[in-house]
Structure 1
Amino acid sequence: MLIIKNADLINMSDICHENKDILIEDSKIKEIGNIDVSKYENAKVIDAKGKLVTPGLVDPHCHVGLFQDIVGDAGSDGNEMTSPIVPEVRGIDSVKPHDPSFEHALNSGVTTVVTGPGSGEIIGGTFCALKTYGKTIFDMVLKEEVAMKMALGENPKRVFGSQNKAPSTRMGNAASMREALFKAKEYYEKKKEYEKQVASGKEDAKKPEFSMKWESLSRVFDGMIVKIHAHQEDDITTALRIIEEFKLNATIDHCTSGWKIPEVLKERNQKVIIGPTFGTKTKIELKDKSFEAGRVMYENGIMFGIMTDHPVVPLENTTTQAGLFVKNGLPWIEALKALTINAAKVTGIDDRVGSIEVGKDADIVIWSGDPFHYMSKAETVVLNGKVVVEN
């Protein structure tokens, strides 16, 4: 049992409370209010007086564990580039729990990461949601498969075009994605019809032939989140057409040029995940990369999270990157939302993480100062109810 006393609490639910206490038991938040410590003789007590206390941070899109730090190619397991369509692969099967980046993230206040395949394929497999502390993957997993990764733009057409294979153009990218979705939808409909016939008692109902590929992809027609990698405006609008055509529950990830066409995103109530925004504009797709994006998305009422895309921006720079969005006009609290509750919402894990509320996972950070100030650090990190960092 753990009690955090006297916290200046930003819970991300009804936002800010001064001098509040948090009671934690069995990995969950049990009570928030004014707690009488004398009732809990065996509890560990942390006095957070004068400290800012927030939920653990959530990165909604990265590749930690799949592209391992230090070891180079030997630790690069994030792209199954043997085919442009590989929905059957699962990011969790490539995660290396002892990638030092997990510890770096934890020490920086990041307690949950949504990590998975890169963008070398049109459909690259599933992302997982993990906590950043644990001895094995079983200790870390929050959700084994949280989203299906898809990609438009330069990456897949370069990978396969260089082998003289399809796709080699943007229209080839879109055609490959559509063809796969049509096949998965046909598989899905046959499976549902078979299940309907069995339920009605039809004895000669013919079971469709099993396909691991289409079985995996067909889950998007039951609401599985789709993460579509798209940087520039034409790829973003292609993603929007495909989302509408197949009625997908999707986010547009990176959405680098999206701040130039916010009305298009707003009209469709489209959720996005922006970033990474640190670094140079290494290719034409990144020409519109700007820290103005957060302010524009917020002003247009667009739901968004902020990603690092680790290892592109190291996870330990999560708050530094977000602070630059604040510098460029994004309200402070909205930047924090983009790293907590909104990051959790756009990845479908807000029932567990992203805010400090009774019943949710006890993932909490006590900060030495403003999280977005370069001198501040995550002084104490609680994950699943245990103190795992004490700086």
Structure 2
Amino acid sequence: MKLYHAHIYPMDREPIENGWVSIQDGKITELGQGEIVPGPEDRDLAGGMLLPGFVDAHTHLGIIENGIGFEGDDCNEASDPFTPQLRAIDGINPMDRCFAEARRRGITAVLSSPGSANACGGQIAAIKTAGRRIDSMLIRTAGVKFALGENPKSVYNDRDETPITRMATAALIREGLAAARRYRSDLAAHEADPENLDAPEFDAKHEALLPLLRGECKAFFHCHRADDMFTALRIAKEFSLDPVLIHGTEGHLIADLLAPEKTGVIIGPLLCDRCKPELNHAELHNGAALHRNGVPIAICTDHPEVPLQYLPLSAAAAVKGGLPYDAALYAITLGAAKLAGIDDRVGSITPGKDADLQCYRQDPLGFLTEPEWVMIDGEIVP
């Protein structure tokens, strides 16, 4: 199948006028420029804008269902402040209507995350937005969710349990990572000398952190305040983690200091009020300041904080705050996929990647705009 007569925005190279894309078995196989001899299955886009599907790098899609209530909220297991063994895929309901709303606005892949009540909330799922069974929608486990700042403090202060300070939250994270590192060392010692050294007793929490310690996935840190952002980086360096900062509300206050760290920031939600003290310095120019200083960014909705279908509108808000238009589009396509750790599969129109595509006749970030059609894995989806 070929899509032709398209204005292609590949995102990993310059736009292609009068371009074409070849798709086979749900994958992009080739793209080029110029006229083709169309076959019966090929599709003439008649000058339409062809983009990769949008990617939201931080949501709670399906794990906090539409019409929030106890029955549909499986996001925070606030009975233990350190729960790396929990997996978001075990709480996501693909029948939630918000999946369809996301698809209709061109969002084809998201990270759906446990919440930020705990110092460690669990494992984040990178998923497609089409499907009825989460196992078939899963791209991979993207990483482990940690949280710093007011959320763990307030949750456990209400329970009169630790952590009720930033110090205790950071200490819990260090304790958990240090214990997992020791567990890894004991496993290695047993494998090297199984006759003389017993294997450590199985521990689900430690096992869940092993891929993180091996550098096979990312450490995602919920942090709004500047000091919390630096605490996240400090912990990441201590344990040789690959960190990503979520929210980064005060990033514009420290953008020059973040730049040398080469750590990405998933900013958002942008279309919200300053509902707690940590958001006191929330500004639309946050993304522009970070981008200007060379800090990699993605833009997120934090769905359902902002409904997922407003991801393009959130990118437009960042443009209003001074972020260049192309950078905003990048921040919800390839930039988001890179920070999510799934850019080998999605985020750009590149041979070998999944055929997650969308076609527009108007500004993709426009408030009144919707895609003409959306494709996931080479199939047009409703």
Q: Same fold (TM over 0.5)?
A: yes
Partner of 1:101: 98
The answer as to 2:224 corresponding to 1:217 is: no
For the 8 Å contact 2:358–2:375, the answer to whether it is kept is yes
Structure 2 letter corresponding to 1:330: L
Structure 2 letter corresponding to 1:131: K
Please give the alpha-carbon distance, in whole angstroms, between the structure 1 residues aligned to 2:301 and 2:95.
19
Residues 13-59 of structure 1: CA deviation (Å, up to 9, x unaligned): 11311110111111001121246344x44x2x322223211100000
Gapped runs of 5+ residues in structure 1? none
Question: Comparing 328-337 with 28-37, which one deviates more in the overlay?
Answer: 28-37
* Pick aligned residue for 1:262 from 234, 250, 255: 255
Please give the alpha-carbon distance, in whole angstroms, between the structure 2 residues aligned to 1:153 and 1:166.
13
Please, what is the CA RMSD of the aligned residues? 1.3
User: Percent sequence identity over matched residues?
Assistant: 38
Residues 140-197 of structure 1: CA deviation (Å, up to 9, x unaligned): 1111x21100000001111111111100111111111111111111111211222333
Query: What SS is found at the alignment partner of 2:312?
Result: helix
Alignment size in residue pairs: 380
For the 8 Å contact 1:8–1:49, the answer to whether it is kept is no
Residues 254-298 of structure 1: CA deviation (Å, up to 9, x unaligned): 011011101221121111111111111000100111110111111
Q: Equivalent residues in 2 for 1:115-194 (5 A)?
A: 115-143=112-140, 145-194=141-190
For the 8 Å contact 1:92–1:116, the answer to whether it is kept is no
Partner of 1:228: 221
For the 8 Å contact 1:281–1:289, the answer to whether it is kept is yes
- C-alpha displacement at 1:72, in angstroms? 2.0
Please give the alpha-carbon distance, in whole angstroms, between the structure 2 residues aligned to 1:262 and 1:64.
29
For the 8 Å contact 1:22–1:35, the answer to whether it is kept is no
Partner of 1:36: 36
Query: What SS is found at the alignment partner of 2:162?
Result: coil
Residues 85-139 of structure 1: CA deviation (Å, up to 9, x unaligned): 0000000100000111100000000000110200000001001011111122133
Please give the alpha-carbon distance, in whole angstroms, between the structure 2 residues aligned to 1:15 and 1:190.
50
Query: Post-superposition, which runs of at least 4 consecutive aligned residues in structure 1 deviate over 3 A?
Result: 34-38
Please give the alpha-carbon distance, in whole angstroms, between the structure 2 residues aligned to 1:127 and 1:76.
16
The answer as to 2:307 corresponding to 1:311 is: no
Please give the alpha-carbon distance, in whole angstroms, between the structure 1 residues aligned to 2:297 and 2:190.
39
Residues 323-358 of structure 1: CA deviation (Å, up to 9, x unaligned): 011122111111111101111111110100000011
Query: What SS is found at the alignment partner of 1:134?
Result: coil
Please give the alpha-carbon distance, in whole angstroms, between the structure 2 residues aligned to 1:345 and 1:54.
17
Partner of 1:4: 3
- C-alpha displacement at 1:71, in angstroms? 5.5
**What TM-score, normalized to structure 2?**
0.97
- C-alpha displacement at 1:368, in angstroms? 2.4
Structure 2 letter corresponding to 1:240: L
Query: What SS is found at the alignment partner of 2:125?
Result: strand
For the 8 Å contact 2:233–2:243, the answer to whether it is kept is no
Query: What SS is found at the alignment partner of 2:362?
Result: coil
Please give the alpha-carbon distance, in whole angstroms, between the structure 1 residues aligned to 2:172 and 2:280.
26
Q: Equivalent residues in 2 for 1:46-125 (5 A)?
A: 46-70=43-67, 72-125=69-122
Partner of 1:337: 330
Structure 2 letter corresponding to 1:173: T
For the 8 Å contact 1:133–1:139, the answer to whether it is kept is no
For the 8 Å contact 1:51–1:366, the answer to whether it is kept is yes
